[in-house]
Amino acid sequence: MNIVVLAKLVPDLVEELEINDSGTGLDMTWLRLIINELDDHAIEQAILLKEKSPAHVTIMAPDIEGVDDILFTAAAKGADRMIKILGDFEEGMTNHALSRVYANILPDLNPDLILTGVQAHEDLDGSVGPLLAAFLKMPYIGYVAGVSIENGNILATKEYPGGLNAEMSATLPVVLGIQAAETPPRYVAVSKVRQAMKSSEIEEIEASELDASGSTLVERMYTPKVGEGATILEGDLEEVADNLIEIFKEMGVL
Amino acid sequence: MTATATQAPELSFSDTFYTSLFDVADGERIRTCLQCGNCSGVCPFGYLMGFPPGRMIAHLRAGRFENVLESDSVWMCVSCYACTTACPKEIPLTPGLLTRTKEEMLLAGNVPTELQDALMNSQRYGNPMGESPRKRSLWTKGLDFEVPIFKEANRHVNVLWFVSDYPSYHPRVQLTTQAMAKILHILGVDFAILGPEENSDGDSQRLAGERGLFEMLAEKNGKAFSKYDFDTIITSDPHAYNAFKNEYPTLGISYPVQHFTEYVAERIDELIPHLEENGVRRVTYHDPCYLGRANGVYDAPRTLLKAIPGVELVEMPHSRSTSLCCGGGGGGMWLDGFQWEKAHVRLSEWRIQEAVNVNADILAVACPYEPPRFEDAAKMVQGAGRLVVKDIAELLADSIGDMD
């Protein structure tokens, strides 16, 4: 079983986001990047599958600052091969372009199963999974929370809104968009990650020329304006609470 | 050809683990364990641990340490040093056996999820709560004087104030931090803070078994320390104090360090003229594990409290070396849910009960874990409704008249 997981780094919302000077995207200068949470689940799911039955797990990610950390962390968890894709990704790229880059590399890796997070909070032009499946002409199942493999078929539990689950099967090879791994991503001790840095290697592959056709173009990015009709209570906690009580009294609620 | 060399007998996991305990200072004393059970008896959670310290040693000696690692018993340990202090053979149980066991659990991936979050946050952001490193000095806003930051001051400064995680970010503990700033300001201390360059000291992460993370954080702090010119470090956090005093030097990061209470106690004569009576109060003092038991600082905090006009200092039955742990040490700060599920009591409630029993108006503390933990506990303990929890820095600052 040859499993490939696709991971990417996204802006970390722990920092305030700022808009760049041209007003069309985020200012990357101060941005802190973090692994897309659902890609982390995809890595975990791959490792869980490997722990159940023999598998070879490859993690592939575009070369953005911090990518070595996520690849070595995956190695410490049990991934066998780490690949970073070289290219001009620092200013961000569309999922159409990224999926085409993946689609050009993946056939050489002969994957039986391709896992990626079902979505990322910075997706603007669809998510990677279905785009990639279309480019590779493979089946796709998204919102997957639970995977097993039986006789060359994949059995995936797909989550629907309203508390419904469906069990779906597909013939390998297949692309899955992971909503949640069967257990939360594990913590791996820093000493193990440092060990992985010494004992494992990250391969580099040049990206094919970027082709963003089909993507959306951001014309303007801006923060929401405070709407009319809303009153923002200013001051410290005590003042705000006093104000609120006054307002409730005026409205006759208290 | 015949092989003549005799093969060394293969060591079991229990054997290698046992030997690894000798690396800790005085670690070989574990050989002298009498199985008296004092450690398990004095342990605040010993009564519900499947493997309290004494039984851990018994299983280790029997070559069955796997049993200990298969249970999650050690995650009840709050690294409070009660067992270590009670041991008649002076075996370093907390820094040795218990911490090493947590390290093995962590390497094996047997870690409660809530603890993982704190460790991951510490890795990513340099603080266990997952706050933005850029916001580390935001607590200084709202003070009516400037708190200098090393990077901006760029000169020799007498005192590096290591603010630490909870004092920087926790809204309740920030009040104690501001009080401490006020005291340093009124004493005219030449100090600066690292601001965003400061990382968690890592001591509680170390005691929760994450040695590698501790070393990584220590390297970052060591690098920041080496960039600037200062004479001494002070901190209000006994865990940071313990790290700088006892652990960082083993990594080659060595600076003189004082707990805030020690530093101010040395200057109490300068502070006394500023202190005014703020009403007569009955105050009792909680010795934090890492100031008291682990480092023997018992008198400085009491000196400060006695200097406050109107304060009557009363002792609780468990004080000084027998002080009760607030439950926050050794990763306990990040295991509240796990420990509640097992115990259905909070260690902090026992402490509050004692403060109520001695009729205290105020429970004075000297560790940043404590104000939120004890205030939460006070809400649950009958008769604790009027008990006020205050850091010593807050009590001092509240007694300082108008600053001009």
Among A15, A30, A189, beta carbon nearest to B107: A189
Q: What is the mean pLDDT of residues B212-223?
A: 98
Asked if pLDDT for residue B404 goes beyond 70, the answer is: no
Among A34, A186, A193, beta carbon nearest to B109: A186
Give how far B323 is from chain A: nearest CA, Å: 32
Flag whether the ipTM exceeds 0.90.
no
Rounded to whole angstroms, what are the CA distances from A33 to A9, A85, A118, A190?
A: 6, 17, 19, 19
CB contact under 8 A, B212 and A187: no
* pLDDT per residue as tens digits for the range A67-88: 999 999 999 999 999 999 999 8
CB contact under 8 A, A188 and B212: no
The reported pLDDT for the residue numbered B87 is: 98
B132 lies within 8 A of chain A by CB: yes
Asked if pLDDT for residue B5 goes beyond 80, the answer is: no
B116 lies within 8 A of chain A by CB: yes
Task: Give me the CATH code for the B113-265 domain, please.
Answer: 3.40.50.1860
Shortest CA distance from B131: residue in chain A: A14
Phi, psi of A145, rounded to the nearest 5 degrees: -130, 80
Asked if pLDDT for residue A254 goes beyond 90, the answer is: no
CB contact under 8 A, A190 and B134: no
Among A16, A187, A192, beta carbon nearest to B116: A187
Rounded mean pLDDT of chain B?
95
Give how far B46 is from chain A: nearest CA, Å: 27
The reported pLDDT for the residue numbered A6 is: 98
Query: B79 with B330: CB under 8 angstroms?
Result: yes
A187 lies within 8 A of chain B by CB: yes
Query: CA B177 to CA B180: how far, in whole Å?
Result: 5
B175 lies within 8 A of chain A by CB: no
Domains B113-265 and B271-399 in one fold: yes
Q: What is the mean pLDDT of residues B109-118?
A: 93
Q: Is residue A242 part of a domain?
A: no
A194 lies within 8 A of chain B by CB: yes
Query: CA A136 to CA B126: how far, in whole Å?
Result: 41
Asked if pLDDT for residue B77 goes beyond 50, the answer is: yes
Q: Domain range holding A162? A: 2-206
Query: CA B348 to CA B357: how far, in whole Å?
Result: 14
Shortest CA distance from B118: residue in chain A: A187
Query: CA A98 to CA A6: how far, in whole Å?
Result: 10
The reported pLDDT for the residue numbered B154 is: 86
Q: Is residue A227 part of a domain?
A: no
CB contact under 8 A, B213 and A189: yes
Asked if pLDDT for residue A60 goes beyond 80, the answer is: yes
Q: What is the mean pLDDT of residues B379-392?
A: 96
Q: What is the mean pLDDT of residues A40-44?
A: 98
CB contact under 8 A, B119 and A191: no
A190 lies within 8 A of chain B by CB: yes
Among A15, A16, A189, beta carbon nearest to B106: A189
Domain count, chain A: 1
The reported pLDDT for the residue numbered B11 is: 81
Shortest CA distance from B213: residue in chain A: A190
Residue A254, exposed/middle/buried by CB under 10 A (0-12, 13-18, 19+)? Answer: exposed
CB contact under 8 A, B212 and A14: no
Q: Is residue A148 part of a domain?
A: yes
Query: B301 with B291: CB under 8 angstroms?
Result: yes
Sorted by sequence, the CB contacts under 8 Å of residue B141 that are 6+ apart come out as none
Shortest CA distance from B125: residue in chain A: A14
Which pair of tokens denotes residue B163?
A: 């603010």
Amino acid letter for position A144 = V
Query: A24 with A220: CB under 8 angstroms?
Result: yes
Contact residues on chain A for B119, CB-CB shorter than 8 A: 187
From chain A residues 31-60, the ones with a CB under 8 A of any chain B CB are 34
Question: Cis peptide before A173, with omega less than 30 degrees from 0?
Answer: yes
* Fold classification of B271-399 (topology level): Rossmann fold (3.40.50)
B217 lies within 8 A of chain A by CB: no
CB contact under 8 A, A187 and B132: no
Q: What is the CATH number of the domain that holds A151?
A: 3.40.50.620
The reported pLDDT for the residue numbered B197 is: 97
Q: Which of B322, B391, B343 is nearest to B181 (CA)?
A: B391
Shortest CA distance from A12: residue in chain B: B132
CB contact under 8 A, B107 and A184: no
Higher pLDDT: B216 or B7? It is B216
Pick from A18, A31, A34, A187 the residue to mutate for testing the B interface (most B CBs within 10 Å).
A187
Q: Which residue has the tokens 């279905």?
A: A130
Shortest CA distance from B114: residue in chain A: A187
Q: Is residue A252 part of a domain?
A: no
* pLDDT per residue as tens digits for the range A87-133: 988 777 899 999 999 999 999 999 999 999 999 999 999 999 999 99
Q: Where are the beta strands (DSSP E) in chain A?
A: 2-6, 9-11, 33-35, 56-62, 81-86, 113-117, 140-150, 153-160, 164-171, 174-178, 202-206
The reported pLDDT for the residue numbered B402 is: 65
Helix axes B171-186, B370-378, angle to 10 degrees: 130
CB contact under 8 A, A15 and B210: no
Q: Which of A91, A101, A99 is nearest to A209 (CA)?
A: A101
Q: Hey, where are the domains in chain B?
A: 13-107, 113-265, 271-399
Among B130, B132, B212, beta carbon nearest to A190: B212
The reported pLDDT for the residue numbered B80 is: 97
The reported pLDDT for the residue numbered A151 is: 83
Query: CA B399 to CA B276: how far, in whole Å?
Result: 5
Among B125, B210, B216, beta carbon nearest to A14: B125
* Cα distance between the two ends of chain A: 66
Asked if pLDDT for residue B289 goes beyond 80, the answer is: yes
Q: Which of B300, B320, B258, B259 is nearest to B85 (CA)?
A: B320
The pTM score is 0.91
A192 lies within 8 A of chain B by CB: yes
Amino acid letter for position A30 = W
Pick from A31, A190, A198 the residue to mutate for testing the B interface (most B CBs within 10 Å).
A190
Q: Is residue A214 part of a domain?
A: no
CB contact under 8 A, A190 and B106: no
The reported pLDDT for the residue numbered B1 is: 46
Asked if pLDDT for residue B403 goes beyond 70, the answer is: no
* pLDDT per residue as tens digits for the range B11-20: 889 999 999 9
Higher pLDDT: A214 or B4? It is A214
For B290-325, letters b (16+ CB in 10 Å) and e give bbbbbbebbebbbebbebbeebeeeebebbeeebbb
B274 conformational bin, left if phi > 0, alpha if psi -120 to 50, beta if neither: alpha
Residue B285, exposed/middle/buried by CB under 10 A (0-12, 13-18, 19+)? Answer: buried
Query: CA A132 to CA A127: how far, in whole Å?
Result: 9
Amino acid letter for position A69 = D
CB contact under 8 A, A189 and B132: no
Q: How confident is the model at residue A150 (pLDDT cuts 50, 70, 90)?
A: confident
* Cα distance between the two ends of chain B: 92
Q: Is residue A31 part of a domain?
A: yes
Give how far A186 is from chain B: nearest CA, Å: 7
